[in-house]
Amino acid sequence: MRLLLVCALVTAIPPTTANADERAPCTEPSDAAVVARLRVLEQHVRHEEPLVRRWFTTFAFLHSAMALGGAILAAQGDSHNVDFRNEMLVNMTSSALALASLVVVGPPLLGAGSALDGMGEDTPEARLLKLRIAEDILRRASAAVEFATGWFPATASAVYVTGAATTLLVGLGRVNAAYTHSIGGAVLGLGRILLRPTGARAAWRRYRRAHPDALCEEEERVAEGPEASWRVVPSGFGLGLQVEF
């Protein structure tokens, strides 16, 4: 449900257009500058990736354990106590959805260090390509932080927790379970948002101030008009397909 709401929100945003002639021409940095900038980006990734991985692993474990626990209790519950079994099914569903939202929309920094280490730097072209990919990783990580710390994730989490608690209270008559689910859902949902590492956003802002030409090819292409394209980019622990239009 959260993913559907995200898609609806994104598609509801009106497209913006820009005049390519108003932008400064895209200049390619020298090979020495490429190498220096690569080292800066790699340092950012090495610093931020472990923090993001610990955050991701911690909440993935919590959601998985709670979903598994709810499923076991629902399966082993007394067949005559249907309300308790339904309560456990609601808890299991909530934890499973939380885990799915965490895994499907994984932080871009996960696996980014290994992906960059696996790229060659034998030629100036290879180094420039690696630079652009590293810039894209940090940009997407910054955008993910911007979204996660905005109003929508917190609101969506609160709406879902309220709906689940209302189901327990009104639909199943489980008063204590409704209060417990409300408190636990609020703690986990807001904790997941507040404890998310945000260093990538500050790192990307510093990098863009120092290097305004970062990802200029992509910006010029977008300014010229919509054009569908796809490419393979580091995502999670491996590679993913990024479609842009």
Please report how the helices 175-194 and 82-104 are oriented relative to each other, as an axis angle in degrees rounded to 10.
Answer: 10
Q: Given pLDDT bands bounded at 50, 70 and 90, which one contains residue 129?
A: very high
Residues 6+ apart with CB under 8 A from 210: none
Q: Given pLDDT bands bounded at 50, 70 and 90, which one contains residue 213?
A: confident
- Exposure pattern of 163-190 as b/e (b: 16+ CB <10 Å)? ebbebbbeebebeebbeebbebbeebbe
Rounded distance between C-alpha atoms, residue 60 and residue 119, angstroms: 29
Predicted pLDDT at 218: 56
Q: Given pLDDT bands bounded at 50, 70 and 90, which one contains residue 91?
A: confident
Residues in a beta bridge with 229: 244
Pick 79 or 67 by higher pLDDT.
67
Top mean-pLDDT range of 112-121, 145-154, 182-191: 112-121
Predicted pLDDT at 169: 79
Top mean-pLDDT range of 31-40, 68-77, 226-235: 31-40
Predicted pLDDT at 231: 52
Indicate the range of 8-17, 25-34, 63-72, 142-151 predicted with least confidence: 8-17
Rounded distance between C-alpha atoms, residue 111 and residue 141, angstroms: 12
Q: Domain locations in the chain?
A: 29-217
* Placement of tokens 């999670």 in the chain: 236
∠ CA 142-143-148 to the nearest 5 degrees? 100
pLDDT digits (tens, 9 = 90+) for 49-60: 999 999 999 999
Pick 163 or 6 by higher pLDDT.
163
Predicted pLDDT at 24: 47
Mean of the per-residue pLDDT values of the chain: 77
Is the pLDDT reported for residue 94 higher than 90? no
Predicted pLDDT at 148: 87
Is the pLDDT reported for residue 62 higher than 50? yes
Rounded distance between C-alpha atoms, residue 228 and residue 230, angstroms: 7
∠ CA 207-244-124 to the nearest 5 degrees? 50
Q: Given pLDDT bands bounded at 50, 70 and 90, which one contains residue 80?
A: low
Predicted pLDDT at 157: 81
Predicted pLDDT at 205: 94
Predicted pLDDT at 78: 67
What is this structure's pTM? 0.71
Rounded distance between C-alpha atoms, residue 241 and residue 234, angstroms: 9
Q: What is the mean pLDDT of residues 161-184?
A: 77
Compute the radius of gyration of the chain from its Cα atoms.
Answer: 22
Rounded distance between C-alpha atoms, residue 242 and residue 27, angstroms: 25
- Neighbouring C-beta atoms of residue 98, cutoff 10 Å: 24
